[in-house]
Structure 1
Amino acid sequence: MDARTERWREHRLQVRKDLVAAALVAIDVHGPNVSMGDIAKVAGTAKPKLYRHFADRSDLHAAIVQHVQNLLWDRIMGTVNLFEDSVADLIDHGVAAYAAVVTDHPNLFRFLVHGHFLTRTGDRRTADGSAGDPALDSARTASNMVARVLADAIQVPAVDNSTVEMVSYSTFGAVATATDWWLGSSDQHEPAMTIERFTAHLAAIVRGLVESSSALLGIRIESDRPMHLAFVRDQEEVTRE
């Protein structure tokens, strides 16, 4: 690849990033029903330029989802230490960081959960071209990422990757539906509880899912210990085997 081609590639990548940034602003302003025209207006350009840099709505939606995943991951990882913090602190701090992002960008989460951007044209495709739900598609990648991190950290023979994946998927589903309930479908919705209460309930839900799933495997969680030391097999389960 010559220097000119590389500069052009970098330029196109930067333009895509700028257009995604404009889309985020447009979503914050216009809500989940944002249009391509709204995004183009915020970007200070015409709609045809959007389609020169994104194949279609689905391509732009995927770029927005990726940005949100990176934002959440960076924000959460910036508040925790996976190898030193206790399980209790990991959950509490992680949920608090997530809730802070939701509070900063409520319309962005409404946009992702309700998926109006794609349903207008029937353009709801996953990365492999099959039909899919935007909320589920965006959660799958994040769930798999978290599952890999947890599988590496939990050194207990009874816990296999499939169990970790199922718990991760269940947790993301519970968090997404709880967030949808709390935010409501528009800015006119009055939250039923404060952000502090919502965060506390969300942390309790996450703990409950992890602890109950672990109990099924005969594993107890010492939540005041770091994750790689917190999952302990009950002696009764070991004896039974």
Structure 2
Amino acid sequence: MAEHVKRGKANEAATGDARRDRWRKHRVARRAEFVEAALRALDEHGPDLAMENVAVAAGVTKPVLYRHFEDKADLYVALGQRGTELLFSRLVPAINSQLAPVPRIRKALDAFFGVIEEHPNLYRLLARGAFTERPANSDVVAEDKELIATALTALLGDYMRMFGMDSGAAEPWAYGIVGMVQNTGEWWLDRRSMSRDAVVEYLTQIIWAAIDGLARQNGITIDPDKPLEANKVVLLHAKEEEASDAG
């Protein structure tokens, strides 16, 4: 009898855990749907959108929306996380492509400009903090810049050591490149005085000229159109980053 009661309680607990797990997954999926609705609302209303705009885009009432987001700041954080996912899903494969140096640089830049071109209001929202309820300690763009610059530091450092160069310059180089690309991206979104292909090509040539110039100062000649022997790669994560050698 006691054993039967124990089994009954165990089954009851397992059933309860399964229900909680299903409910948790449902909430996660539902929240993701609302974030996508917020992206659509951003496209239509710009970075000054209200929660009412998001609710309309999602086809729900504001009270339903607030069951999944504590406030507007919570939605801001969720949009930032989604923006990071979109960027890294394109940027990482581009950076790690087994291409010659110049095509590799071009592909990585095009990935960044492709994301901000498709979601300009999302980028403006995150870069300029248009939400009045934005969390004081949340700066998604700055966090992403830090992640990318840190990973790029490791990548450049690996290549510089591979060629017998002093890798001490890798970090300022990485931060300089990331800052230049971001500032140019913001300028381009506001002006649109040239095509995406054109701005990507200009930046590609600027970055390659700097790399090529430094290499030649050290007596090294790199063929811009020939893949390097070792394909150094980077892994970007939300909390950690590292560089490894896939060659």
**What TM-score comes out, normalization by structure 1 length?**
0.72
Number of aligned residue pairs: give it. 215
Contact 2:76–2:134, Cα closer than 8 Å, also in 1:
no
Partner of 2:189: 183
Q: Secondary structure at the match of 1:33?
A: coil
Partner of 1:111: 125
Measure, in 2, the Cα distance between the counterparts of 1:219 and 1:15. Answer: 57
Contact 2:149–2:178, Cα closer than 8 Å, also in 1:
yes
Q: Does 1:143 align with 2:155?
A: no
1:101-129 Cα offsets, whole Å, 9 max, x none, are 22222222222222202xx1353323xxx
Measure, in 1, the Cα distance between the counterparts of 2:166 and 2:26. Answer: 46
**Identical-residue share of aligned pairs (%):** 30
Measure, in 2, the Cα distance between the counterparts of 1:221 and 1:66. Answer: 41
Query: What are the equivalent positions in structure 2 for 1:20-169 lying under 5 Å apart?
Result: 20-78=35-93, 81-82=96-97, 84-117=98-131, 120-121=132-133, 123-126=135-138, 133-147=139-153, 155-156=161-162, 164-169=170-175
Equivalent AA in structure 2 for residue 121 of structure 1: E
Greater mean deviation of Cα atoms: 4-13 or 62-71 = 62-71
Tell me: CA distance 1:122–1:12, structure 2 relative to 1, closer, same or farther (3 Å): closer
**What TM-score comes out, normalization by structure 2 length?**
0.70
Give 1:71 shift.
1.7
Give 1:215 shift.
5.4
Structure with greater Cα Rg: 2
Tell me: CA distance 1:142–1:96, structure 2 relative to 1, closer, same or farther (3 Å): same
Greater mean deviation of Cα atoms: 97-106 or 22-31 = 97-106
Equivalent AA in structure 1 for residue 181 of structure 2: V
Unaligned runs of 5+ in 1: 127-132, 185-189, 232-241
Measure, in 1, the Cα distance between the counterparts of 2:40 and 2:230. Answer: 42
Counterpart selection for 1:172 from 178, 186, 202: 178
Measure, in 2, the Cα distance between the counterparts of 1:153 and 1:51. Answer: 49
Unaligned runs of 5+ in 2: 1-13, 233-247
Measure, in 2, the Cα distance between the counterparts of 1:152 and 1:9. Answer: 42
Measure, in 2, the Cα distance between the counterparts of 1:67 and 1:17. Answer: 9
Measure, in 2, the Cα distance between the counterparts of 1:58 and 1:211. Answer: 44
Give 1:206 shift.
3.5
Measure, in 1, the Cα distance between the counterparts of 2:159 and 2:106. Answer: 18
